[in-house]
Amino acid sequence: MLKRRRWIFSLVAILPVLAIFAYVRVYPIGEILRLSLHKWDILSREKPFIGLANFQELFGDSLFRTALFNTSIIAFGVLIITLPLALVLAALIHHRTRSRFASFYETTIFIPHVVSLVPAAMAWKWIFDARLGPLNAVLSVFGIPPQAWLFDPVLSIVSIIVLCSWQALGFAVLIYLVGFKNLPKSLFEASKLDGASGIQQFWFVAVPLLKPITLYVSVATLVSAFNVYAQVYVLASDAQGAPGRQVRVLVLDMLENTFRNYRVGYAASEAVVLLVIVLILTAIQFSLLREKGTR
Amino acid sequence: MTRSTTLTAFRTALAGTALSFGLVAGMASASAQTITVWSGYPELVPFYQHVAESMREEFPDLRVEVNAIALREHERRVALGITSGQSAEVLELATSIAARYLENGLLATPPEDVQGFVADPANFGEFFVNSASYDGTVYGMPLFRGQSALYYNTEMFEAAGLEPPTTMEEFDTVAEALTQRDGSGNPTVSGWSMRLSGGGSGITEKFGINMFQHGGEILESDGNGKWRANFASDAGLATLKQYLHNLFVTNTVTVQMPADAEAFEREQTAMFIRESWVIGDIAAKAPDLPYATSTLPRGSIVNPVQLYVVGEGEQADAAWQYVMATQEPENLVWLLDNVGWLPNRSNLDFSEVIAEKPGFEAFVAYPDTYEFFSMPAIGPIDEVLTRAAASLEQAFANPSIAEDDAAIMAVLETIDNDVNAILAREGLLAE
């Protein structure tokens, strides 16, 4: 009887939270799924059902394919840069925990994550500037000719990857640091007694033990990178005469289809594709990184 | 005075004060009225405030809030605002954008006196009345228009002994002569700043202006409200070829160079084609810039912008009164003088402004043979322009096609196919 009461109490206690979650999270996703099967121009009261026509058009749409390709390159680029770099930096900071500069290192790396996105992107826009940017000035010291960072189709994507990685790094390092601090010291001491070097301890003890952290960081980084928008908007915006090549990404394409082309159903089908991609990638990451025997 | 008397007096005073506050507040809310104007041109804020100021004497209780943001964001907020019932009362919209809202009955029909004012040929030419109308009914108040002319740096032209170009062929030779280069031959000051980057519909719109000079338009009408893409045509070929010639053959401009009004104001380009607002911008940012304007070889684009009202009742009445006040000749002359956008109302005396700012002459005093065109007021026009811009932007980054007519034509045919697909989807494709 007591158990049943507790169960009812728990249910009642959690119900408001579940209701809010369902309203602000689940319902919009359901609504997007529904809209993706309709033709709607945001202004009209009519929303005719068109089945999978939006999806059919989507895969023949060269702009969508470009956006999907660019977004995927950016997302995986950010993941490939952020994950190992964050792991190494966190290891180095953890190794220097007793240093009086330890908190300075942590803060320095975390600051980009909390800095407002727009001013940060504006600063990077100046850094990447082909004529006046310090990046080309530094490259010229090594005899490398100035690069058109924000105009070249490849370099403009590289620039966005660099900016996104710079921002994502702080969060990843912070999470890894928490992971490092929770690793059992006995294992490191044992490996030291067995003659393992610092690098061997890192590679054969820390990295495997940090797998759950790596899973979380990689999922969070990848999902966040697939939703890239503001960085692209600032670096290569739509402003008249803006000194940058427009890099088309999925969120930008969705916004354009919704508010400029008045095609909400079509934009919703793009959102569904993005959702499916992120879900599949997350599932793959879980299957690759989850500890064997755990559920 | 007894304690109870004091208490009663205190209560009475308190009640009296509360009543007075209530009455004052009630009177204030009954008489004060606020209307909001949403604009997509931040430089127009002083104009809208000037209009509100001019109404103060007659309407002392009318408060006007002006909220102006960049055009693309403005278009987004209008879409969200109107559909959610949170829109401002007065909206500034181009004809092509307003078409969507009018199709769905989301903009208010003006009172008869406003409709009569707009329809009166003494106030507006037929083109502007049509731009403000939908299905034969006037909905908007014509305010200003985007119209293009050539801006050129007079010092650079004089130093080279050149006159502003009068044909598109001359644009190439003049641009080549005016380009300044460093020791390696790389341009440091572009001869002709063209719209090459930044994405969005502006690239295609500027391409369309140049294409018009070459004798064509990006969309062809069948005369029955249907359209067909016309990029892959002689005029389209000549236009894209000219862009690529300047980019990769004579190298008078590069995609990396500073561009647009900002570059012109900093003397980083010798000439460029733009609307009249640049004159106000130069006056504010580079008042000592030696420049003049000139008409284009064949004619100019005209992009009319109107004011529309959303809602009904007292708020809408006040909004229409404000909209009418924008049409006071004094306010419209102020608009040209201080902001630089060209008012659409006829029979205004701009002589004083032109005497002071001769740059406006190319916009208001043009040859009789000068032609005007505008982008079709069809729902998907922005999508058409944006779609074409994506391909044009790629072409501008491809030197390998610069001197290959077949390859250039292939790019234009791809654009035609993309655009026609959009038109077909919307039921607007001509047979």
pLDDT in tens, A194-250: 999 989 999 999 999 999 999 999 999 999 999 999 888 888 764 544 456 678 899
Does the pLDDT value for residue B10 go beyond 50? no
Whole-number average pLDDT of chain B: 90
Spatial contact of B187 and B300, defined as CB atoms under 8 Å apart: no
Residue A187 sits in which domain range?
52-289
What's the distance, CA A267 to chain centroid?
21
List, for residues B29-38, the tens digit of each pLDDT value: 445 799 999 9
The closest CB to that of A259, out of B75, B255, B394, belongs to: B75
What is the model's pLDDT at position A160? 93
Question: Which of B41, B91, B255, B423 has the highest number of chain A CBs within 10 A, making it the mutation to test binding with A?
Answer: B255
Whole-number average pLDDT of chain A: 89
What average pLDDT does this structure show over B372-388? 90
What average pLDDT does this structure show over B288-313? 95
What is the model's pLDDT at position A286? 86
List, for residues A25-59, the tens digit of each pLDDT value: 999 999 999 999 999 988 888 899 999 999 999 99
Type of residue at B409: M
A82: CATH: 1.10.3720.10
The answer for B371, left when phi > 0, alpha when psi is -120 to 50, beta otherwise, is beta
Does the pLDDT value for residue B319 go beyond 90? yes
Does the pLDDT value for residue B9 go beyond 80? no
The closest CB to that of B100, out of A152, A248, A262, belongs to: A262
What is the model's pLDDT at position B378? 87
What average pLDDT does this structure show over B265-274? 97
Band (pLDDT 50/70/90 cuts) for residue A1 is low
Band (pLDDT 50/70/90 cuts) for residue A292 is low
What is the model's pLDDT at position B199? 63
Which of A91-100, A147-156, B13-22, B284-293: highest mean pLDDT? B284-293
Band (pLDDT 50/70/90 cuts) for residue A294 is low
CA angle (B58 as vertex; B56, B61 as ends), nearest 5: 60
Q: What is the CATH number of domain B147-302+371-425?
A: 3.40.190.10
Cross-strand pairs, B308: B91
Report residue B340: phi and psi, to 5°.
105, -10
Name the residue ranges covered by the structural domains of chain B: 32-146+304-351, 147-302+371-425
Beta strands, E only, A49-159: none
> Rounded CA gap, A247 and A242, in Å?
13
Residue A244 contacts B, CB cutoff 8 Å: yes
Topology of domain B32-146+304-351, per CATH? D-Maltodextrin-Binding Protein; domain 2 (3.40.190)
Which residues 115-144 of A have a C-beta within 8 angstroms of B?
Answer: 130-131
Tell me if A25 is assigned to some domain.
Answer: no
Pairing of strands B180-181, B141-153: unpaired
Alpha helices of A182-261 — where are they, by DSSP H?
185-193, 198-200, 207-209, 211-226, 230-235, 250-255
Does the pLDDT value for residue A65 go beyond 50? yes
Chain B contact set for A145 (CB, 8 A)? none
List, for residues B89-147, the tens digit of each pLDDT value: 999 999 888 988 998 899 999 999 999 999 999 999 999 999 999 989 999 999 999 99
Tokens of B310: 């959303």
Segment holding B65, helix H or strand E: strand B62-68
Report residue A123: phi and psi, to 5°.
-65, -40
Give, to the nearest 10 degrees, the angle between helix B112-119 and helix B314-325: 20
Q: Number of folded domains in chain A?
A: 1
What is the model's pLDDT at position A235? 83
What is the model's pLDDT at position A42? 86
**Per-residue buried b or exposed e for B179-205, using 16+ beta carbons within 10 Å of the residue's own CB:** beeeeeeebebbbbbbbbbbbbbbbbb
Tell me if A31 is assigned to some domain.
Answer: no
Tell me if A41 is assigned to some domain.
Answer: no
Tell me if A35 is assigned to some domain.
Answer: no
